[in-house]
Every structure is written in structure tokens, then in C-alpha cells.
Structure 1
Amino acid sequence: MQLLRRTGLILLWLAAPVVAFAAANKSDPYLVALRGAGNIALVVASIAIVLLLLHRRRWRTMAGKLLVMLWCLPPVLMSAAHLKFELRKNDVLGVSAAEARRLGPHFMVGYSSFPEVARLAEQGLIGGVYVTRHNIRGRTIEALRAEIASLQDIRRAAGLPPLVVAADQEGGIVGHLAPPLTKVPALATLAGLAPDDQQAKAEEFGRIHGRELADLGVNLNLAPVLDLKPPARRNRLDFHTLIGQRAIATDPAVVSTIASAYVRGLEQSGVGATLKHFPGIGRVHADTHHFSAKLDTPVKELEESDWLPFRDVLSHSHSALMVGHVTLTAVDPDHAASHSKRVVEGVIRETWGYQGVVMTDDLVMGAIYQNDVCKAVVEAINAGVDLLLVAYDGAQFYRVFACALDGARQGKLDAAMLRASAARLERGFSIEQARAASRRSVPPRTVGLARTDGSGRW
């Protein structure tokens, strides 16, 4: 019995700082699973342990008092973290209409709560939404279709442009809306076919995705992947990027052939494509979902291999370009490509002459979020990035938008870049958005099927 008591005390000493850390960082995307019921459970458990320690008279000794104080910390720290989040949220929601309309079009956000995202859409604080598996979990595809249509109705009533509505339907292991949408094989499965068959099947895959996404109200697909397939598994700790399974082929010509046909199929349905992840992540070893990563390959070698598919598909499509969070050391060793002026303006805009829409990979990734995210947001806008994506944890939108807002108020944002970016967004998505928004219109009152999932993700 004495041994059990000692073991219990040791566990309480070990758990106290862990629980306090989790409470203080309740808004961190790594702790998204604890939001809602998880946070309540932590607070209840902390209070119960404090009461138990007091009941056992542990407060009589100095060590006991310290232990009681440690277990009093989680509720206090969690309350402070929640207050900080709410204050930031209120600041963002309270911006002027001019500030919202200047900065809002440059943000795309993932969500779980319809009322939250509807307010952002109505105020012009966002230019797009990202829908994924948690938006259809436990619901019908008709419910999501009605929800998207209602968001577009809200935009129309507010006198704002239609939202860009994006999804991640690559095929294979990345098909976040399949099921209920059709589960299409990965484009990599076509690499061994004859060129004519590659094109025919890839275009068919694109048409399938395009028809179903367009019917849902999605007007931008975050596909295809144009990174070259690595010759071997790049990192045993890579549990999320998995580029070896997602990339089409090692041969740039095969990638170009298949990707071009797939994009044609998408565009025939009025759905735009997004080429990713420039400057290429097939050669890097670290997973940018969690860590910073470097691409040390010389530019000349990249131009002759990895970048050929990007330039080829961009030259004869209306695709957007997603820039990843890898550092292209030969061009800019100090910034990830997603917020590097030398990469976006220097390589993509000036050298390649591409004047379409450039977007970041998800800013809620360790390579950006665990560093100076505010610096990255300001630099990305000043580099000429058009859309900043906040996908995995939509609640981080308030922090990311606040970064841009502070930058604007302090005169750190390049006004000319913002104007040029706004023109690109209008030029790049107006046709696709108008077609998608007019395809189906459902009055906002019909969205009784929308819900908040209680996790804090929205």
C-alpha cells in the first residue's frame, strides 16, 4: 500500500508540469485534439487532484504545498490562454471594413464551425475556405453542398466576391472527400502506361474529380503533385508528407504528361488546379509538417529536372502554384520558399514570367508555425504570395490575420504588392468562382445541418 502511495505521488509530480504546459498552450495546433472536452477534462482533473491533496493534508509539508500549487496552475494557465485567444479574436473581428477588404482576400481558412466561418466570410476577412474530411464526418454530401452554397449566398448579400472553395483531392492516399466522393487511384499508377494511355486515364481522373467537386461547390483543387518521386524512402520519421506515394514519377516528362492531362480534365468542369509543392520536396529529407527543411540542389540542376513539370503545366493551363516551406538554399538560404521574395518574385514572377495565383502550403505546419509566424506572414505578402492557407487548424486564422494586420498598421506591408496580388486573385478566380457560385444557390436558412464539432477546430 505504501509503495502504491509513493508511486502515485511520483506520478503526480511528473504529470503536473506536463498538464500545466498543455494548459498554457491550449491553443497550439499540436494540442488540437484536447480542445473542447479535452480541455474541460484537464481542468476537472486538476481541481479534483487539488481537492484530494488537501483532503489528504498534503499541504502541511513544504513539498506538499508545492505540489498543490503545481496542480492549481493548469486551470489558471488555461484561463489565461483562453483569454489571450479571445482578445486576439475580438481584435480581428473588430477591424474596419477597409482593413478587412484589403487583407481578407489573401486568406483561405479551414473550418468546422459554420457560424464562425460565415461571420468571417460576411465581414470579408477571408477570401476562401478549405473543406476536408472533418467537414463531412457524420454528415451527408448534400449537407456540405448546402453549406458551401450558403456561404456564397452570404458573400453575395454582403456585396463581396464569391469565395474560393478548395479541397485536397489528389487521388490515392490523399482524397480527403473520398468517400463519399469517388475514390480515384493515385496518378502515380499511370506512370507505367503508354503515353497516350497516360493522358487518356489522367484526363478521365481529372474529369471525375472536376465534376464531383464542381457539383459540391468546390472551385479549386489542391492537386496535382508535381514533385519528382524520390528513388527511395526519404525519412523513416516522415508520417505526413509521404511524397514517395503521392508523387507521379521520377521522370519529369512523365510527370508533365500525366499532370497536364489531369489538369485539362479538372478545368473542363470549371475547377482550377493547384500545382504543388514548388520548389519541390522530393529531394528533401525533413517533413515540413514538423521541421524546417533545406533543398540544397543547384538551380541549374533543378531547372533541368524538378522544375520542368511546373513550367510546362503552368505554360498551358490556368493553374495556381503552391509554394512549400522548404528553403531553396541556392536562391535564399535565410527564408523558406513560401515567404521568400527572391523565390516568389525573383524566380516565379520575373524569371518564369508567371503572373497567376501563388499560394502557400498550410501555415499551420511546424516549419513555419513553430518559428516566427508573424515574420513569415508579412514576408510572404511582400514577396507577392496571393493566398495564405490556414488549413489544419482554422482557429489559428486569428493569429495569422493579426500578424498581417499588425504589419499593415505598422507600415510593413508593401502596398504595391497587395494591389498587384488583389488584381491577380480577381483575374485568376473570377470566372471559376462565378460559375461555381451560380451553379447552386441555397438560402442560408437551409443550413440547419451545419454544426460545430466541439474540438475547437473550425
Structure 2
Amino acid sequence: MQFLRRIGLILLWLAAPVVAFGAANKNDPYLLVLRSVGNIALVVISIMIVIVLIRRGRWRSMAGKLLIILWCLPPLLMSAAHLKFELRKHEVLAAGTAEARQLGPHFMVGYSSFPKVARLAEQGLIGGVYVTRHNIRGRTADALRAEIAALQDKRRAASLPPLIVAADQEGGIVGHLSPPLTKVPALATLAGLAPDDQQVKAEEFGRIHGRELAGLGINLNLAPVLDLKPPVRRNRLDFHTLIGQRAIATDPVVVGAIASAYVRGLEASGVGATLKHFPGIGRVRTDTHHFSANLDTPVRELEATDWLPFREVLSQSHSALMVGHVTLTAVDPDRAASHSKAVVEGIIRDKWKYQGVVMTDDLVMGAIYQHDVCKAVVEAINAGVDLLLVAYDGAQFYRIFACALDGSRQGKLDTVMLRASAARLERGSPKDQARAASGVVGLAR
């Protein structure tokens, strides 16, 4: 019994700093699973351990006092972290109308709480919402449809443009609204078909996605993937990108042909497409959900291979373009493409002459979030990025919007870029549900 008590005491010493660290970082997206009920459980457990240690007389020794103090820290640190979050949230919600109207259209946010996102929508603090599996889990399609319609009603009542409503329906392993929506095979399954059959089936897949998404009030699909399929298996730390299963083919001609047909089908139902993840993640072996990644291939080689599908589909459609968190070292070795002026303005805008909507990949991904996210937000806006996506953990919106707010108040944001971006978003805004049902939502070039 004495042995077990010693083991228990050792475990308490080891666990105390871990729990304290978790409490201090309760708002981190990596600890999303600990939110709400998890946070309460952690506080209750900490208090119970302190009570047990005191009742057993551990406070009589110096080591015991230190252990008790360590287990008092988690509730205090969690309270401090929560206070910091609430103060930042208050700062964002208290933003003036002019600030909200200037910055809000550039943010698309995922959400779990309808009342919270409705407030953001009504105040003009966001320009779009992202819906995914937790928005449909345990609910019917009709419930989600009604929720999206309610958000759009609130926008109209506030005399604000309709929200861009996005989802991630690629097909295959990425179909976040399936079920209840139809589970469509990955576009990669079409690569082995004859060219004519590829076109027919890809367009059919696009029509299925477009029809069902439009039926919910969703007007932008974050698909298709245009990264070239990697010839070798990525490293074992690739938990989420899984581009080998999501990419269409290794041949850029096949990728371009299938993607173009898919986008035609999607647009036929009034749903816009999003081409991703420029400048390409097929060649990198690092998962940007967690780590920084470099793309070291020369631009000339990328233009002749990886970028061919992007340019082809952009020239034939009204697609938006998603820029990933890969560092294109030959162009800008110091920052990821998603917030690089040399990439967004230099290549996409000036060289390619693309004047449609450019959006970032999720800013909650580790390649950005675990570094200087405020610097990335300011640089992305100044680079000419139109939409900043906060998808996985919508609560991070307050931190990320606060970065833009501080940048604006300190004069760090390029107002010329903001005006040009606002014009692109206005051209690309879905005007109303009737238009979305009868034609492309207009994420135009």
C-alpha cells in the first residue's frame, strides 16, 4: 500500500505541471477537445486533489505545500486565460461600424454556436461562414438549411451583403456534409477512364455537389483539389493533409480536364468552386496542419507542371483560389505563400492577371497559428488576399480579427489593397438566393 501511495504521489508531481500548462493554454486549438465540459472537469479534479492533499496533512511539509500550490495553479491559470479571451472578444465586438464594415468582409469563420455567429454576421464582422460536420451532426439537412437562411435574413435586416457560405465537399475522404448529402467518390477515381468518360462523370459529380449544396443555401465549395498527386508516400506525420488520397492525378493535363468538368457541373447549380492549394502541396512532405513546409521547386518547373491545372481552370471558370501555407522558397523564402505579397500580388495578380477572389487556407493550421499569426494576418491583407479563413476552431476568430483591428488602428494595413479587395468581394458577392439558384454566385475573375 505504501508503494502505491508513493507511485500516486509521483504521478501527482508529474501531472501537476502538465495540467497547469493545459489550463494556461485552454484556448489553444490543439486543446479544443478540452473546451466546456473538459475545462470544468479539469478545474473540479484540481480542486478535489487540493482538498485530498490538505486533508491528508501534506501541507505540513515544504514539499507538500509546493504540491498543493501546483494543483492550485490550474484553476487560476484557466481563469486568467478565460479572462484574456473574453477581453479580446469584447474588443472585437465593440469595434466601430466603420472598422467592422472595412475589415469584416475579409473574414470567413467556422462556428459551433448559432447565436455567436449570428451576432458576428449582424455586426458585419464577418463576410462568410464555413459549415462542416459538427454543424450537421445529429441534425437534419432541413435544420441546417433553416439556420443558413436565418443568417442571411439577419444580414438583410442589417442592410449587409449576403454571406458567402462555404463547405468542404471534395468527394472521397473529404465530404464533411456526407451524410446527409450524397457521398460522391473522389475525383481521383476518374483518372483511369477514357477522356470523354472523365468529362461526363466529373461534371456529374459537380452537379450532384452543386445541387445539394445550393439546396442548403451553401454558395461556395472548397473544392476541387488541383495539387498533383505525389509519386511517393508522404511521411508518417501526415495526419490530415493526406494529399495522396485527395489529389486527382500526377498528370497536370488529366487534373485540369477533370477539374474543369467538375467545376462546370458545380457552377451549373449556382455554387462557386475553390481551387486549392496553390502553389501546390503535392511535392512537400510536411503536413501544414501542424508544421511549416517549404516548396523548393523552381518556378519555371512549377509553371510547366503543377500550376498548369490552376491556370487552365481559372481561365475557364469563376472559381476562387485558395492559397496554402507552403513557403515558395524561390519567390519568398521568408513567409508562407498565403501571406506573401510576392506570391499573391506578384504571381497571381500581376503575372497571371487573375482578379477573382483569393482566400487563405485555414489560419488555425499549425504552419501559421503556431508562429506570428498577427503578422501573417496583416501581411495577407496587404498582399491582396480577399478572404481569411478561420475554420477548424471558430473561437480563434476573435484573436485573428483583433490582429487585423490592431493593424488597422496602427496604420499597418494598406488601404489601397483593402479597397481593391473590397471591390473584388463586391463583384463576387452572392446577391440573393434567387441568383444563387439560377446562376453562378459570381466569384468572378
Q: What is the TM-score normalised by the length of structure 2?
A: 0.98
Question: Which one-letter code corresponds to 1:51 in the other structure?
Answer: I
Residue 170 (1) aligns with residue 170 (2)? yes
CA distance in structure 2 between the partners assigned to 1:131 and 1:335 by the alignment: 29
Displacement over 4 Å in runs of 4+: 431-434
Q: RMSD over aligned Cα, in angstroms?
A: 1.1
- Structure-1 separation of matches of 2:174 and 2:431: 27
Query: What is aligned with 1:31?
Result: 31
Contact 1:325–1:367 (Cα < 8 Å) also in 2: yes
1:91 is the counterpart of 2:120: no
Matches within 5 A, 1:238-317: 238-317=238-317
Number of the residue aligned with 1:450: none
The structural deviation recorded for 1:431 is: 4.9
Alignment gaps of 5+ in structure 1:
440-458
1:13-64 superposed Cα distances (whole Å, 9 cap, x missing partner): 0000000000000000000000000000000000000000000000111110
Q: SS of 1:33's equivalent?
A: helix
Contact 2:430 2:436 in 1 (8 A): no
Q: Is the 8 A contact 1:172 1:246 kept in 2?
A: yes
CA contact (8 A) 2:214 2:270 kept: yes
Instruction: Write the distance in 1 (CA, Å) between the matches of 2:150 and 2:238.
Output: 38
Deviation at 1:436, TM superposition (A): 3.7
CA distance in 2, matches of 1:127, 1:50: 47
SS in 2 for 1:275: strand
Partner residue in 2 for 1:100: 100
Secondary structure of residue in 1 paired with 2:430: helix
3-state SS in 1 of match to 2:327: strand
Structure 2 residue aligned with 1:19:
19
**Partner of residue 148, structure 1:** 148
**1:429 matched to which residue of 2?**
429
| Structure 2 residue identity aligned to 1:406 | D
Q: Is the 8 A contact 2:214 2:437 kept in 1?
A: no
Distance 1:435 1:25 in 2: 44
Q: Is the 8 A contact 1:162 1:434 kept in 2?
A: no
Shift of residue 336 of structure 1?
A: 0.1
1:106 and 1:286 mapped to 2: Cα distance? Answer: 28
Code of the aligned partner of 1:402: A
Secondary structure of 1:273's partner? strand
For 1:219 and 1:144, the matched residues in 2 are separated by: 14
Contact 1:363 1:389 survives alignment (8 Å): yes
**Deviation (angstroms), 1:180:** 0.3
* Contact 1:214/1:269, CA 8 A, preserved across alignment: yes
- Contact 1:108–1:391 under 8 Å retained in 2: yes
> Counterpart of 2:264 in structure 1: which amino acid?
R
Paired residue type of 2:334? D
Give 1:437 deviation, angstroms: 8.7
Which amino acid is 2:125 matched to?
L
Correspondence list, 1:303-342, <5 A: 303-342=303-342
3-state secondary structure, aligned to 1:371: coil
Structure 2 match to 1:182: 182
Alpha-carbon spacing, 1:109–1:434, altered in 2? closer, same or farther (3 Å) = farther
Q: How far has the Cα of 1:357 moved from its partner?
A: 0.2
Which residue in the other structure is 2:402 paired with?
402
| CA distance in structure 1 between the aligned counterparts of 2:231 and 2:239, rounded to whole angstroms | 17
CA distance in 2 between counterparts of 1:8 and 1:382 reads 54
Q: What is the Cα deviation at residue 429 of structure 1? A: 2.6
Rounded Cα–Cα distance in structure 2 between residues aligned with 1:436 and 1:264 = 15
Whole-Å Cα distance in 1 between the matches of residues 437 and 97 of structure 2?
23
Instruction: State the shift of 1:85 in Å.
Output: 0.2
Shift of 1:438: 10
Distance 1:190 1:431, change over 3 A: farther
Q: Which amino acid aligns with 1:371?
A: H
Output the CA distance in 2 between the equivalents of 1:331 and 1:64. 57
Instruction: Report which structure shows greater RCO (CA 8 Å, sep ≥6).
Output: 1
Q: Go from structure 1 to structure 2 and tell me whether the alpha carbon gap of 1:320 and 1:375 turns closer, same or farther (over 3 Å shift).
A: same
- Residue 430 of structure 1 aligns to a residue in which SS? coil
Q: What corresponds to 1:117 in structure 2?
A: 117
The Cα offsets for residues 345-370 of structure 1, whole Å up to 9 and x where unpaired, read as: 00000000000000000000000000
- Structure 2 portions without partners, runs of 5+: 440-445
1:142-179 deviation line (CA, Å, top 9, x unaligned): 00000000000000000000000000000000000001
Matching residue's letter, 1:171: G
C-alpha displacement of 1:237 = 1.2
Q: Distance in 1 between matches of 2:27 and 2:178?
A: 29
Amino acid at match of 1:435: R
- Name the aligned partner's letter for residue 234 of structure 2: R
| Structure 1 residue 235: Cα displacement | 1.1
* Partner residue in 2 for 1:60: 60
One-letter code aligned to 1:115: P
